[in-house]
Structure 1
Amino acid sequence: MVFAGAAPAGAAEVEAAATVDLNLLNINDFHGRIGRTGPNLASTVPFAGTVEQLRAEHGEESTLFLSAGDNIGASLFASSSAQDQPTIDVLNALDVQASAVGNHEFDQGFADLRDRVIGGGNADWTYLAANVYAVGTTDPVLDEYALFEVSGVTVGVVGAVTQETPTLVSPAGIATLEFGDPVEAVNRVAAQLSDGDAANGEADVLVAEYHEGAASVDADPTLEEALAAGGVFAEIVGETSAEVDAIFTGHTHQRYAFSAPVPGVDGATRPVVQTGNYGEHVGQIVLTVDPATGDVVSHTERNVARTAVPDAELIATYPRVAEVAGIVDAAVAAAEVVGNRPVGSVTADITTAFAGGTWTGPGGTYVGGSRDDRASESTLGNLVADSLRETLADADRGGAQIGVVNPGGLRAELLAAGDGVITFAEANAVLPFVNNLWTTTLTGAQFRTLLEQQWQRDAAGNVPSRAYLQLGLSDNVSYTFDPARAEGDRITSITVDGRPIDPDAEYRIGTFSFLAQGGDNFRAFTQGTRTRDSGLIDRDAWIAYLTANSPLTPSFDRRSVLVTGYPTQARTGDRLTLGVERLDLTSLGAPANTTLTASWGDGPVVATVPVTAGAARLTLTVPDDVVGEATLVLRAQPSGTTVRLPLTVERSVVPTSTALTLSAASVRYGTAATATATVTGATSGDVRFTWDGTSVTVPLADGVATTTLPAGLARGAHPVVAEFLGTAEAAPSTSAPVTLTVVGRSSSVDLTLAPRSVFQGLPSVAVARVRSEGRPAQGRVEVLVDGAVVATRQVQDGVVAVVLRSSTLAVGRHDVTVRYLGSDSTEPSEDTATLTVSRLSLRR
């Protein structure tokens, strides 16, 4: 259906007569922003006037007004106080024809959407969801598409919602549903509507309404930047069927109007648009279509900012706007009965985190600040977490020790404009979802996993469009992190109530039912035990907290700080260099920190460094008196942000060397030798001397230790080693081995052969007398004939005798040697004699 080429030369008039324009108007993520003026850009009349201005550009018959979902839910009080009926009435009055279902349409559960919003005849438009099925089937539970006749062309609109919906709403409300791949579903329906079979529906032009879109990038991104951010958006642009002529997106609250390549069609492009949110802009795609073929000849796309024409002029000009104004005025008046009742007050703004851009609130326009940066910590998120902990601390309400809040649950600010009074409506706008408050038990290890899950992964392991969600935490919790570390190892420390978290201990967590059921991909909550519903509604508990604690003052201390170079173990004397970042909050009114101090525990400040743009670099030495389990405490001023870094400190030890000397390198058997170890680097401690598998430990005195080696060491070589065993201050060390040689007593052998000459076959006796220093020796001898051992004998009283058989000897002279082998105390010796063997002759 897509053709994006230029018209042939000279054919302009023919084309003008042969084509029609389709004026497609769109909104996304309206979220019940109805009101005449006020916070969060709830200026409904200018919004409605913009729709009517754009409708008038091409006329009623050429215009189709659509939505990409989240029309209701997370709404302002004027709408939420009446279950969003005023918002439904406003969109009915503006003739919205079809809308993708958004995840917030399921906030009150599928039954509410089906039976009240749709089935009750409230929404005049068709809600579309091609990828939402009855559980265990592929049967859609809502309409997949709708067909409209626009300027004589049949326009098919196909809707799909983010597959992340089960993580974004309370699971119990959608337990009967499954959410499939949105692109696959749109392509399936697009193929059906373009297969030429009128029986299953046909369309000349196809429009996809995705409640899913590009991830957050810089303002006014290029298509290339949006695609580079990855996620489902790249699939929407690159994989949506070429039969689809225009794509509207939503969910991620981004604003863009792209002309994107059509997959598989060279040179062809199609529009891809998202309007931001809250009716601040209206998306417009104009398709120039050849009605005979259904081909799109050209297209334009843009986002049109809400008109600045005065309300009165818009009301007088456009009947629909007048109807909208009446609906809004009635809703605001009804809400004011309850909503204008003061419930508390603030001394200064308490807000979500702000990012680049501008934001207009009751106090004026905030340049350089666009609310709801869900990837950053905020004063409001932490305050709500404090309220959860306090509300649920009583054992009867669950005994919460820690409060946890998801950033997407915070939909408005507490602003101090005027007298600082917070009304019921303003308080309700902060927490509009009507969740119950639950408690559950997580171990310290599971809580660490919960914090790791701020770096998002969906159930399939994919990174969703919002890749990071910053949890708000009660003020008794702080942690450090390093995003450069491996996934699952980014949280480097957690402190609860001033002490390091115990991985095995149990902690009661107070939170919303949405989170406690694993919402926003925080699946660690599903591992919780003793999960309990307090029976309290978040709005009621929140308002009670505001009333009890007013006036409230914002706390600008951070609960999470990025720290690099943080060691969990150190030694005294070590030089630590830490990088500390993200010390500053971006909530309205947050001060820029100027200094960072360091101390050991509650001790005095040991270092002070400047903070620039929320970052500092700190270098300090671990002192000698910090040993064992220690805490390095960093404090940023003026915010009061406190960082506690637990670490184990061991006392540093001095390196040593051990040298070994012997009183003599060689001694005679029976003479003792002295071994002396000299240890450099230590004056006390123990030295272990080892030789022949025997050890003796001797205390070190003034760096020297000695021992006497036994006098009875056997003759031979004896390696000796000295080992300094170390102390708390000095490292162990070992000497090189030194060899002691023990020399035995001298010996002598006196050999006699009897006889010295024999006839062949007759014996001779070798008699040897073995003596050592004049005394008979003991031990063994070997008898050798011509160098070959023929016998081994034990010496008895210094004498040994061996019979030599000459029958095996040749005629001639033979050397007979008796070799004394020595003993542990005696050296070897030998003596040699000659035996003559003759041939026996017999004469007659």
Structure 2
Amino acid sequence: MTLCDTRHTFGAMLVSRNPVRFLALVAAMVVSLPVLAAVAAPSATAAVGDEVIAWVEVEDGAISGGPALNSGDHGNFSGTGSYTFRETGMTSTMSVTAPTAGTYPIYVRYAAGPLGADENVTRSMGLLTNGGSRQLMSLPMTSFENWEAWRFVEYDVTLNEGANTVAIQCDRGTDFCRLNFDAIQVGGTAPDPCLATTPAPGYTSLFDGTFESFDGWRKAGAGGFGRQSDCTIRSIRGRGATWFTEQQSEPYTLEVDWRRNDANDDSGVYLASSSRAGADPVGGYRIPIGADTGAIVPTGGPKKSPSATALSGALRPVGQWNTYRLELTRSRLEVYLNGALVNSLDRTGTASPTGFIGLENPNFLDQVDFRQIQIRPDVEVGELAAPFRRATLADGTTDNPGGESTLGNLVAETHRWATRAAGSGGAQIAFVQPGGVAADLLGGPGGYPAAVTYTQAAAVQPSAATLVNLRLTGAQLKTALEQQWQRTAGGTVPAQSFLRLGTSAGFTYTYDPSKAEGSRITGMWLDGAAIAPATSYSVTVNSFLAAGGDNFRAFADGTARQDTGKLGAAAIVDYLEATAGDGPLAPGSTQHSVGVAFPGGSRASYGAGEALSIDLTSLAYSAATDPKDTAVLVTLGGRSLGAFPVDNTIGNEAFDEYGKAAVRSTVPAALAGGPATIKIVGNNTATTVEVPITVAATSTTSVAVAPAALKVRQGSTSVSVTVAAAGGTPSGEVELYVDGARVSTVALVNGTATASVGPFDTVGTKSVTARYLGSATSGPSTSPVATVVVGKAAAKATVKVQPRKIQAKKTKATVAIAVSAQGYTPTGKVRVKVGKKTYTGTLRSGRVTIKLARFTKAGPVRATVTYLGDALTNPVSTTAKITVSKAKKK
């Protein structure tokens, strides 16, 4: 009970000092002052009466004036019982030694319970000191319901230094004496010599050594419990129990200190009884003390014995105090003895821990002491190094069912862990849908590390869905992951078009968000080994997913299905408890899923020196407390490609693309050809992504031309290309370039290719190169330059002089000249020189006619004809003979 839960507080129980005297019977008794463990020795400076000088049990005194009637049928007394005063003459006298003469307060603990309707009134008794005058004690009703509610009344008495007597007396002529008296306290500023023990942080005392806390308990059965002078309570007077009056309804942690005084002393603690009316529990559990210490005995069920090893190391000898810590939740009861877990029992389903707490008194002979009984709401099941949160959007509060989260991955891991045993399917991988994770796991309050309770853990998985183990092939696993991009059975895309599955530890995958639906998952790994499409894997999901819930129909196709009966809520609690010894549980920092896309599409292979571009997404958890990378470090084949910044901005789209990096680099020139791995590692989280690529082997290309010299526009030259690479004969295509312009593409045959280039339309030295385009196994390469010298063409000139007969001073002759070359028609000028005269003409369509002046005299004439050449044609000269005859006379 809590302090405020006591039925009668001391403020209500305490009756102010009253000098009124009543006639009463006097019971004479002489008792010595017992040791009061929680009471300090009198202070030399304290006023007379401020210190407790005696605590005397009424039932232990010498009784006179009538038969002694120890009322052990009632509970919550101190010592071994209480004494009932009913008739005239019943008297109790007590002996008290006062250190100093003076006035002392006396506190009388009594019970005035229900009688007949006309008897339920304030009652009275007489109080005598040293046989002198009689004070009348007014004793109001303590309860109209039972005789186990006690109060104190306070009066002043005058004591002599040394020996004194204090008596309680009943006289039915004056008093209505139907009362039970428990004990008296002499001295002190308040009743009850025991000081309340302080509960541990987070706990509330159910019994702290004081009567106020003891009043929250009620006896049932013949035997009961008495508060002892050392501020403990002890089982006495036969078989029975004492029950805490307030029923528990939620998970709790109960701590009970107990001590056996003899090897034969037995007792027990009752939990979750649906009734406190009797000496035996109704339902619930008994945790024995003595014989079977540490066992769990369900009412009506078989006993579960503790671990013998744990018990032997934890149990303290008879006469020493032991502490039970009993943790009761909907799913389990755990018994700790002196800090060591000695026993546990799984409970059925999610049964409420509702019920009463009690202490057992097995029989008249067993006497077991109890102290410091305290309760704490809930049960601590572990400790968190930091919070585990669901994914959120940019505002930090709106759930993002499409985002990867530390909590989703933790829940999936607890499901795998709970079903990892062969009897539960030997789970290798587990998944959980975002809708199955209902609350963040924060622990606390306060800073971190922070304790996490059963209720907090169970709230993460409130569903009663059980865990189902099944078998899926690697291909089916891929299908399940592809179904994160949602589509209903009818083929429509729902409003929430992407749902991110939480995945268990060791399972990772990559995806390409730019690819078409059904082909986005690009790689899957389990503990670093690639998932094989045809291999069967043991997978655990909850019963909702196992039936194809949330459009994850691939899980419904699983084989060898086994409903384990285990609950998700229990799995996370069990996991936290099982790992508690490893220290505070820290959220996983690494991403289980990373988006990897090649802008423009990935290539079959990448050659040395070739540009390499990768876009990364899904590198960041959304919670501000989650660790994040500021950069990714990228290597290829063990060679560094550099560090690339990460943009951790969280947006408002319910997908998993936040945490972005753009890798832009080149394939190292010296990298050997063949399979290679691009390794991407987060600089803070150690998130690791491995992307396999093929690096083409370095190739060499050579080119030869023949002939190496040509005439312009005349013929072509043959080009021979040879490509070589380490590890095999290259295949593929070669492009031929002349002066940097591609002129043809030819296929390699056994590493060689032949082609021709030309004719050439211009004169000069032509560069010929071959560029090998590369293949899946061989990188591209370019040949050195080969040259072809293209010269001017030879011209041919023909000359015809007309007319045939030329007379001096009379005939004007013409020279018709034709210039030709192979493959084209020359252009340019022609010069004709006759004697001292020179004539020039321009070719048109390779021809020109030049008129000569009249010859002045007869005789043979030589005409020299010279074609001066053009850009493509060399000059050429020829001569023509002209015969000039004398002019005929008329």
TM-score range, shorter chain: 0.3 to 0.5
Structure of greater Rg? 2
TM-score normalised to the size of structure 1? 0.38
Greater relative contact order structure (CA < 8 Å, 6+ sep): 1
Structure having the larger proportion of residues in helix: 1
